[in-house]
Every structure is written in C-alpha cells, then in structure tokens.
Structure 1
C-alpha cells in the first residue's frame, strides 16, 4: 500500500501536478484501490485543520505582510547601517542583522527575501560588493527567518509531531542567534581577506537618535512576540493576534503608511498564502494517514532503533535524510510527511522534541539554498535577473557557516532546550 502511494505521488509530481494535489490525489487513489473508507478523507482533513496552533499561521502571515506594507524594512536597514556600517564589510553585517530583526516579524525565508532582498542587494552593489556575493549572503541570511519565532515551519512541525507549539517556537531563539553569529564571523573573515569596503554612512548623533526613534516601533515587534510568550501572557495563537494588532496600530497611528487599499492588498495576499499552506497541510494529513494505516511509522521506528539507540547517531541519520529530501520537497511538505514517521523513535531514544524541531527546520531551510528545488535561489534570480548558476556560486561559500551552525545545534541540545526549559 505504501509503495503504491509513493509511486502515485512521484508520478503526479513528474507530470507537473502541484504538491498539494499530488499528496491528496495519491492518498485518495490508494484509499479507493484498497477499499478503505472514503469518509476518512473529509474527517482527517477537517480534524487536522481544526487546530488552534494552526490559527497562528494566517495571523503571522498577515502581520508580516502588514509590517512590510508600513515600510519598516527601510528604516531597519538604515538604522543597522548607522550601527555597524563603518566596520570593514559593514553593509554585509547589516544584511545579516536586518534579516535577524525582520525574522521576528515574518516567520518565513521567502518573506524575508521578498521584503528585504531588493534593498539589501542593491545597497551592497552600490557599496562595491559583487552582485553574486550580495545575492549569496542575502539568501543565506534568510534562513534565520524560519527558525526565529514566529516560525511557521516550527508551528507546522509541532502540529505534525504533536509536541508543544510554544516550546517549539521558543527553541528557535538561540539557534537563530547562532546562525546569525556564524554568518557574521564568516563575513568578518572574508572582509579581512578580501578587503571588503566599509559603508560610506556618516551619521550624526542627532540623525542616529532620530532613526532609532523612527525604527523603535518595528524593533519592539519581536520583543512583544517573544516577551509575551516567555512571560506566559499568551501562547502562539494569541501572540500572532497581538502581533497583527500591533502591526495595524503602528501602520495607522505611528507610521501612517497603512491605507485601506494596502490593508486589503495584505489581506488578499494572506488569504492566498494561507490557502496554499493549509491545502498542503490537509492533503499531507491524508497522505500520513495512509502511511500510518500501513504501519510505516512503526516499522521506521523499529528500524531506526535497530540501527542505534544513541540520540546523536539518530540525529546524524536524520540530518542526512533531511538534507537530501530538502533538495526536492518544499519544507512544509517534508515536515508533514517525515515528522510523524520519525518523531516517535527519536523521542523514545531521548532526543528532546525542541531540538528535533529546530534540526528539522534548519535542515529543510538549507534545502531552499540547494538545487533543483531551491526556492530562495529562484526568488533571488527573479529579483536580480541573475542566472541561477551565478547565484549558486554566490551562496556556496556560506554553506560553511550554515553547516557549522547545523552541527552545533545537532551536537549541543541545550542550544534548543535551554530557553524553553527556563521559561516553562
């Protein structure tokens, strides 16, 4: 049954069917061929979507869209230039820091690239950086977005693996800082070796103070989100609602750039994005149900534990699997298919669920940087009009720091578990 399911799924992808359609179609055909109850299709799809944590997904998407519409990205970029621009390779450090801050508003790598990519690459070109280097660093820095809360992939993982959503989100804070630090260390080394230029910004204290005041509402958005979850005042869904309300408040009252037309545009984009995500979630739930009926998770767990019961060995095997899968499957699809299969065995071996979620997401975000289905590569290619081969050469050096961060997260569980344990 599982082999039939996988063959139909692969065949659907090969003929160009959308992933969500391929998942649902393959599950539906197997249910028909093996005379399983058809009512399960509606039941599984509805029960999966009837989830309070999943309600955070459209709210976070809307919040990120609203914050982008207010123009806060430009203010953040200019402020970071004033802070670190004068050091060698300063504008490259600005690129990483801006991505880190904006990740506290967006929760998705492609959202970061869409909001910041054009500004970052254009500014680095003007400062004398090669377009290839600028594009590569922008793609690498965007991997921070899906790790730092609000992380949509971590919410999806928590739902699929049936673990605490709030702990999964908090687990991403320190690893996101590790990724940012690794990228900035590599930029500093490259700046010294290649004599990368310094930024030409020369702000006065008055200009710095003014830009800080203008940027402060945007800087407080991640503080509101993470601080609210740490304090226990609200969970991920409430945090998403509060962040959305805050984005509307600063867009209307403070920046005064959020108009009725832009609000409706953001709402329309949110509906489309949410429909895409939740269609995948519902279809993957059917796909996973068929695998479960064929006892694939149980067999996979037995096989993994027969290989080793050492948590580190199992995590290394999972890293290899996810790095390959990430080259071909979109992150949310991979999480929804693989997480229910491998999570029970890894938890039984003693892998903390928080660490497992971060390892899942970080691996799959690296898939956004690798062909043939590296969506970040294609998106930057569209923005810059650069050939894909040139963009791949630009991002290739940053695999070093990203894989180093992945190794640290894999080898040191406390990077993922420290903050959730401290708070919860």
Structure 2
C-alpha cells in the first residue's frame, strides 16, 4: 500500500496526468504481486462494461450543444424579464439559470463554463464587481451535479451498487435548498455593495413572447428529470433524449445551431470522455489492488474498533472526503475510495442513498476549493480575477455549502424524504 501510494505521489508531483499516475502505480503493483500482465488489461476493459456509462458522454454532448444552439441566452433573457426590476437581478438570473441548466448537464464544470461565459462578463460590466460574479457563478454551478441528472451520481451508483434514480431524486431537495440559499446570499451581497438596479422595461406582450420562446427550453429539464423519476425511460435513455431535444431546439426553435457547430461539440465530448474513461479504467485497477491488499476490510475493522457510533463515523468520513475533494476531482476520488468506505458505511447501518449523496456533495464542494478547484479556475479565468483573490472571496460561499452539507449529514430526512415518497427507500 505504501509503495503504491508513494509511486502515485511521486508521479503526480512530477506533473504527469493523474490517469497515467494511477496506471503506472497499479501496473507496478500487478508485477510485484505476481499477476500476469493480462490482469491489468482485463481490469481496464471491465471498468467500461456498463450501459449506464453511455449516459455520461450524452449528457456532456447535450451541454456542449446548448451554447451554440443559443438555448442559454433565450432562457436567461426570460428569467431577466421576470426579476430584472430588483436590485441584484443579474445575480438571481445567474443562480436560476444554473438551476435550470443543471437539469440537462449534470456537471458543475459544464455549468460554470456555460453560465459563466454569459453571466460573468455581464455582471462584471453592470456591477463592476468581477470577483462577486466569479464566486457566485462558481457556487451556483455546484447545483449541476446535485439537481438531477448528475454525472458523479452515475459513477457512485455504479461503484456502490445503488439505485441511480434513487440518488437522482435524493438531490432534488438539497439542490433546491442550495439554490434558494444562493439567491438569498446574492441579494444580501448586492444590497450591501449597492449594486445598481438594472432597468428592464417590459410589457405583458413582450413577456408572453419571451415565455413562449423559452417554454420548450424550460420544459427540457422537466422532461428529462420527470421521465427518469416517472420510470418512463432510464438515465441513459434520458441522456439520449436530452441530446435529441437540444438538436431540435437548436435547429428548429432558436435556429442558431449549424451543422458546422456539431464537429467541435463531438470533438470536445470525445476529448473529455477519453480523459474520464482513462481515469475510470486506471482507478478501477487501483481499486482491485486495494481489495487484494485487504484495505477495505482493514479500514472497516479499524473504524469498528475506533467507534460503534455511526454519527462519529459519518463525521470522520465527511471530513475525509471534504479534504480529498480539495486535491482530487470527484470521479477518481470516488473510484478509489467508495469501494473502501461504502461497505463500512453499510456496517454502521447507514442508508446507501444517504451516504452516497453525502459523498457526492463533499466532492462537489471540493470543485470550488483550492488548490485544485476546477470551477474556481474557470470562473476566475472568465472574470480575469487572480486565484489568490478568488481563494479568499469564495470562503463565504463555501461556508454556506458546508452548512448545507452538515444539514444533509445530521438530518438524513432532507436527502431521503423524497426518495422514500417515490418508493426508493
């Protein structure tokens, strides 16, 4: 174990991509333990033998196509007509736009890039407050993997043998709590900093026209989420329907999507998925090595000897995953750690959906924290704000997200109430 961790740490510090670091460390261990090289190849391919994984590139493709299709612009225009008369209205548009977009992308990074590309320049120009724009967008992007669908939840469902639809439903109430809380925080910031009121003159006829143009777009997450929850189609089928919906909306409704836009979207999706699948494959070999070394059983025995109280374990696991999320992205962190911690959580009698959601939320918050924090770098880069300033200004927003995390930890009903109502608990 120490040798494998040492190899991984050395190669990572050398600047080698994380997937290659994981692969090299696990390959060396395969040879040391005397397994034939074929085992390494088999584990790489076995990791991708699930139809549920098809949902991930499809959701990513839907997100990639939404920007050239002009779907985000139409949706944000309508939201702005509704709330534009209030102080800090652009902040409200930002949060509400992220909540709607989360119903199709399932990714915080995609949300930060798509919403941020439109809203950050607008807020920076109108309010002269680029740091606020970047921090708010980064925080609101966290609802992407919380409100269903969710790419991290798909991975956890595969690793923890948990109902993916149950996990999706579990994210609805916490996602709404995060969204409402961010709206309140945005309003407080705007009033304290005296952000100007954006003059939005509109008539009922204009509002009606904007609503009708936006209606098919606003219905998109309802169709995707409702279809999954209602059992009309699976998560993978929902992802395919999301792509088809964006195609039709872009070509027939907004008429902004062009054939030439498809190639860059397909290429970006392929590049992103090649990275994700390579990390998935090599992390699966690492998980196999940990199992061979008996690490899951050792961790379970240590925790059971340390405490018999499930709340103490849950607090320790929460602190651990929150720290890991600061240095690892959700997918490799889950692939390596969920096979270790999930059986321990079950031995304490924790509900698998509750524990799975807590793990996902921990790692999603990590996307917003230095030193890695990809959404922090994306929004800061768009706003042209230094990472040093972002690391300081983001603290109140991260603090709020941690409060929501603690609420879901100590009040499981926040997570389990809706899945129980739908028959998944």
Distance 1:83 1:394 in 2: 29
| 1:219-368 correspondence to structure 2 within 5 Å | 219-368=218-367
C-alpha distance in structure 1 between counterparts of 2:395 and 2:11, whole Å: 31
Runs of 4+ deviating beyond 6 Å: none
Secondary structure class of the residue paired with 2:127: coil
CA contact (8 A) 1:91 1:198 kept: no
Asked whether 1:403 is paired with 2:412, we answer no
Please tell me whether the aligned partners of residues 77 and 94 of structure 1 are also in contact (alpha carbons under 8 angstroms). Answer: yes
TM-score, normalised to structure 2, is 0.96
Name the CA distance, whole Å, in 2 between partners of 1:249 and 1:118. 23
Using the TM superposition, give the Cα deviation of residue 223 of structure 1 relative to its aligned residue in structure 2, in angstroms. 0.4
Helix, strand or coil for the counterpart of 1:148? coil
- Cα distance, 1:385–1:129 mapped onto 2, change above 3 Å: closer
- In 2, distance between residues paired with 1:221 and 1:306? 49
1:313 deviates by: 2.1
Question: Is contact 2:131-2:380 (8 Å) kept?
Answer: no
Q: Is the 8 A contact 1:182 1:404 kept in 2?
A: no
- Return the alpha-carbon distance in structure 2 between the equivalents of residues 262 and 57 of structure 1: 20
Q: Give CA-to-partner distance per residue, 1:304-338, whole Å, 9 cap, x none.
A: 22233333222211111012111111111111111
Match of 1:79 in 2: 78
SS of the aligned residue for 1:200 comes to coil
Deviation string, structure 1 residues 222-271 (Cα, Å, up to 9, x no partner): 10111001111111111111111212121222222222111222111111
Q: Which residue of 2 aligns with 1:90?
A: 89
Provide the C-alpha distance between the structure 2 equivalents of 1:195 and 1:386, rounded to a whole number of angstroms.
21
Q: How does 1:101-180 map to 2 (within 5 A)?
A: 101-180=100-179
- The answer (yes or no) to whether the contact 2:325–2:333 under 8 Å persists in 1 is yes
- Are the equivalent residues in 2 in contact too, given 1:13–1:19 (CA < 8 A)? yes
Q: Is 1:22 paired with 2:21?
A: yes
> 5+ residue gaps in structure 2?
none
Q: Distance in 2 between matches of 1:53 and 1:311?
A: 31
* Change in 2 beyond 3 A, CA 1:178/1:108: same
Q: Which residue of 1 aligns with 2:417?
A: 418
What's the secondary structure of 2:85's corresponding residue?
A: coil
- How far is the alpha carbon of 1:129 from its aligned partner? 4.5
Q: Is the 8 A contact 1:323 1:366 kept in 2?
A: yes
Equivalent residues of 1:136, 1:398 under 8 A apart: yes
Q: How far apart, in 2, do the equivalents of 1:281 and 1:402 lie?
A: 27
1-structure distance, mates of 2:413, 2:228: 19
Q: Deviations over 1:31-81 (max 9, x none)?
A: 112212322212222122010111111111111112222111111211111
What secondary structure does 1:36 align onto?
A: coil
- Range with greater deviation from structure 2 (61-70 or 307-316): 307-316
Would you say the 8 A contact 1:53–1:165 is kept in 2?
no
Give CA-to-partner distance per residue, 1:152-188, whole Å, 9 cap, x none. Answer: 1111111122212221222211111111112122223
Worse-superposed segment, 274-283 or 350-359: 350-359
Q: Matches of 1:123 and 1:355 in 2, distance apart?
A: 38
Structure 2 CA distance, aligned partners of 1:308 and 1:189? Answer: 42
- What secondary structure is seen at the aligned counterpart in 2 of 1:240? helix
Partner residue in 2 for 1:211: 210
- How far apart, in 2, do the equivalents of 1:26 and 1:130 lie? 45
The TM-score, its normalising length taken from structure 1, stands at 0.96
How far apart, in 2, do the equivalents of 1:126 and 1:201 lie?
A: 16
Distance in 2 separating the partners of 1:4 and 1:78? 55
Give the conservation status (yes or no) of the 8 Å contact 1:369–1:375.
Answer: yes
Q: Which runs of 5+ in 1 are unaligned?
A: none
SS at match of 2:97: helix
**Which is further off, 36-45 or 235-244?**
36-45
Q: 1:65-108, CA deviations, whole angstroms, 9 ceiling, x for partnerless residues? A: 12222111111211111222222322212111111111111111
Counting matched residue pairs gives 423
